[in-house]
Amino acid sequence: MMALERLVGKLDRLSPLSPEDKSALMALPLEIERVPRRKRLVREGEIPDRCCLLFAGYACRSKLGSNGARQIVSFHIPGDILDIQHILLPRADHDVQTITEAEVAWIRRAELIRLSKDHPAIGHALWRDSLIDASIFREWVMNVGRRDARSRIAHMLCEFTARCEAIGLGNADMFDLPMTQEEIGDATGLTSVHVNRTLKTLEHQGAIRRSGRSVLITDGRLLRSIGDFDASYLHQAA
């Protein structure tokens, strides 16, 4: 099963698993679902009894303000657990939705709790995953709080490509952005209009080249410098 293999690989990288751990994971009962783009998987306020593993496509988590403003708090790529916090926090404090068409696997909370109790290494891997999640949120606070538009977007591009590369998605410098400029704005605390202007500036300065939604990073060093990007907060090296 494609989905579980991804999960096993990911968790094994987070905290080395024994063969028994792995076979316990492979025995997890799943509900596979193919989801259209822009579909809400979890809604703020719900009490979900299952967690959601993304194994194809892209997704994000977001919060809505009472004035209708939307803030995307994370993007997700294949292999990510979209709402790991629901293992121990019953109430959803934000929405989870797809960006593109996607395939997800639902896993019951109770199963994950049981697994993490019976297999400490799995528990540690899941815990570690949620800690890296939190580290990324911290960096995002920094990003929207203390960087200007150009840096924010450059940083977002760097993070996205770094994470995609880490799972072997796309080659080094050329990739398609799955999200619209409006979604980039919702992630960076900008308007889609200003995202557009800023992308053009980045292109003008020679950091990227674009055609449609595909982006070529022509000068990675420059882009990282503009975005004040240092990948260590991703904690990718075990």
Partner DNA sequence: CGACAACTTGACGGGCGTCAACCGGAGTGG
Partner DNA sequence: CCACTCCGGTTGACGCCCGTCAAGTTGTCG
Positions touching a second copy (CB under 8 A) are: 15, 45, 61, 63, 65-67, 69-71, 73, 84-85, 87-89, 91, 93-94, 117, 120, 123-124, 127-128, 130-135, 137-142, 144-147, 188-189, 228, 232-233, 235
Using CB under 7 A as the binding rule, whether residue 200 contacts DNA is answered as: yes
Q: Which stretch binds DNA (CB under 7 A): 12-20, 80-88, 193-201, 230-238?
A: 193-201
Using CB under 7 A as the binding rule, whether residue 40 contacts DNA is answered as: no
Using CB under 7 A as the binding rule, whether residue 70 contacts DNA is answered as: no
- Provide CB contacts within 8 A for 226, sequence distance 6+: 150, 151, 154, 202, 205, 207
- Provide CB contacts within 8 A for 178, sequence distance 6+: 57, 58, 99, 100, 213
| Residue 82 Cβ vs DNA, minimum distance, rounded to whole Å | 20
Q: Which stretch binds DNA (CB under 7 A): 12-20, 109-117, 126-134, 190-198?
A: 190-198
Contact 207, 222 (CB under 8 A): yes
- The angle, 0 to 180 degrees and rounded to 10, between the axes of the packed helices 120-146 and 181-188 is 90
DSSP H or E segment with residue 210: strand 208-211
| Residue 165 Cβ vs a second copy, minimum distance, rounded to whole Å | 19
Tokens of 168: 């072997």
